[in-house]
């Protein structure tokens, strides 16, 4: 079977890591028919649109996309391509497994956390305006519908995968109504999952707790902004942003992308670590019911990390993006 998949190489390190991952996927023997599209500033030059109509149509048709990072301007400019795509296709769950790779030494061995981030609302709705000069208002939207939906996703995931605990992370002491609603919905959903321990922790304390002892958590359920921040913190447990994969999941479509951004500081130098996007592609293969190929690629990644000969700089190696990809292909 040939899988039609939309490919968004992205910008910054995006094209380098995407190219590496596509080569590895092709070497796995699974057949792909890629529909590749630019997004963001690059797309604007070509199509006068940040997200070309063709890209939307392609995702609508294929229902699966693999996406590299896309730069979002700070301050002014266009709104985030990532956020726009997540909203457009109702990709309400952002799923980010934080798991150590065998062979890669980190400060905390054997971390195995699941981050489930609400992906459609919170402060990410981008509703900001100037009330009067010098005063800006940003709206945080929290709905019962989206909070219940993401809580169900977290608990159902936990049940299906034998996870023992779900913690809802919040700041309901300050945002009494919005985060209050979020944890109320989480608690309600938790009642249908008596075998899973449910906890509620305040987000700042959670950061401290994580760094002190990451093993105390299992599944973390977070609203959008906290999920973004805590994901980067947790990435450091397993070797950094070069490693952590992600999936944006909804009922209509799924977009697989790494947690990291376009890393302009290292772009164009063939030094970025493609492992994060590669492990996102492994999640994609499982989504496409290509379990055997997913297992093979995961085993090849682990072999390369265990041998330690061809690792990128972020994980204290000296190899480039291309050489790392070649090593994974050789291990395959």
Pick one of 19, 36, 72, 322: the residue that binds ligand NAI (CB under 6 A).
Answer: 72
Site track for ligand NAI across 285-324, x = CB under 6 A: -----------------------------x----------
Pick one of 189, 203, 234, 241: the residue that binds ligand NAI (CB under 6 A).
Answer: 241
- State the minimum distance, in angstroms, from the CB of residue 263 to Mg ion: 12
Helices (H), the chain: 14-27, 41-47, 53-62, 81-88, 144-160, 178-190, 203-212, 224-235, 275-287, 291-307, 321-331
Pick one of 7, 266, 294, 304: the residue that binds ligand NAI (CB under 6 A).
Answer: 266
Nearer to Mg ion, 36 or 72 (CB): 72
Binding of ligand NAI at residue 235 (CB under 6 A)?
no
Question: Can you give the length of the chain in residues?
Answer: 332
d(CA 189, CA 193): 7
CA distances from 17 to 94, 96, 229 (A): 21, 18, 23
Residue 241 interacts with, from Mg ion, ligand NAI, none (CB under 5-8 Å by kind): ligand NAI
- State the minimum distance, in angstroms, from the CB of residue 52 to Mg ion: 24
Residue 206 interacts with, from ligand NAI, Mg ion, none (CB under 5-8 Å by kind): none
Residue 214 interacts with, from Mg ion, ligand NAI, none (CB under 5-8 Å by kind): none
Residues of this chain, 164-183, that bind ligand NAI according to CB under 6 A:
none
- State the minimum distance, in angstroms, from the CB of residue 232 to Mg ion: 6
First to last CA, the chain: 20
Q: Which stretch binds ligand NAI (CB under 6 A): 58-66, 187-195, 217-225, 264-272?
A: 264-272
d(CA 21, CA 325): 7
Residue 242 interacts with, from ligand NAI, Mg ion, none (CB under 5-8 Å by kind): ligand NAI
d(CA 325, CA 22): 10
3-state SS assignment for residue 272: coil
Helix (H), strand (E) at residue 64: strand 64-67
Binding of ligand NAI at residue 71 (CB under 6 A)?
yes
Rg value, the chain, Cα:
20
Q: Which stretch binds ligand NAI (CB under 6 A): 157-165, 189-197, 217-225, 256-264?
A: 256-264
d(CA 104, CA 308): 8
Binding of ligand NAI at residue 263 (CB under 6 A)?
yes
Binding of ligand NAI at residue 42 (CB under 6 A)?
no
Nearer to ligand NAI, 190 or 273 (CB): 273
Nearer to ligand NAI, 10 or 214 (CB): 10
d(CA 27, CA 296): 11
Binding of ligand NAI at residue 276 (CB under 6 A)?
yes
- CA angle, residues 129, 261, 225, in degrees to nearest 5: 45
Asked whether the beta carbons of 332 and 292 are under 8 A apart, the reply is: no
d(CA 305, CA 143): 43
Pick one of 261, 270, 302, 332: the residue that binds ligand NAI (CB under 6 A).
Answer: 261
Asked whether the beta carbons of 293 and 311 are under 8 A apart, the reply is: no
DSSP state at residue 244: -
Nearer to ligand NAI, 184 or 313 (CB): 313
Q: Which stretch binds ligand NAI (CB under 6 A): 21-29, 145-153, 189-197, 258-266?
A: 258-266
The residues binding ligand NAI (CB under 6 A) are 13, 17, 69-72, 82, 241-242, 257, 260-266, 272-273, 276, 314
């Amino acid at each position: 079977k040939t899988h039609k998949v939309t490919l968004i190489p992205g910008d910054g390190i995006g094209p380098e890591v995407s190219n590496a991952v596509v080569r590895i996927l092709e070497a796995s023997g699974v057949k792909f028919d890629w529909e590749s599209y630019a997004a963001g500033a690059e797309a604007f030059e070509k199509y006068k649109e940040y997200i070309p109509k063709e890209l939307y149509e392609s995702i609508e048709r294929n229902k699966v996309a693999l996406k590299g990072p896309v730069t979002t301007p700070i301050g002014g400019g266009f709104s985030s391509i990532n956020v726009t795509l997540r909203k457009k296709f109702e990709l309400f769950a952002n799923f980010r497994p934080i798991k150590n790779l065998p062979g890669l030494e980190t400060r905390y061995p054997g971390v195995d956390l699941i981050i489930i981030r609400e992906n459609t609302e919170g402060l990410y709705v981008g509703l900001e305006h100037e009330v009067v000069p010098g005063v800006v208002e940003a709206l945080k939207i929290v709905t019962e519908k989206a909070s219940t939906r993401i809580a169900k996703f977290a608990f159902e995931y936990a049940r299906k995968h034998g996870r023992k605990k779900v913690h809802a992370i919040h700041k309901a002491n300050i945002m009494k109504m919005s985060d209050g609603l979020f944890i109320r919905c989480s608690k309600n959903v938790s009642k249908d999952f008596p075998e899973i321990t449910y906890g509620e922790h305040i987000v700042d304390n959670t950061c401290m707790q994580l760094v002190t002892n990451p093993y105390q958590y299992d599944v973390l359920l977070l609203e959008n902004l906290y999920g973004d921040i805590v994901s980067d913190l947790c990435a450091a447990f397993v070797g950094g942003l070069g490693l952590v994969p992600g999936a944006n999941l909804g009922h209509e479509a799924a977009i697989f992308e790494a947690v990291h951004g376009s890393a302009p500081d290292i772009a164009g130098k063939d030094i970025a670590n493609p492992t994060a996007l590669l492990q996102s592609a492994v999640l994609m293969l499982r989504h496409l019911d290509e379990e055997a190929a997913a297992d093979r690629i995961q085993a090849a990644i682990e072999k390369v990390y265990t041998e330690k000969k061809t690792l990128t700089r972020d994980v204290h190696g000296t190899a480039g993006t291309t050489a790392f990809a070649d090593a994974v292909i050789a291990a395959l």
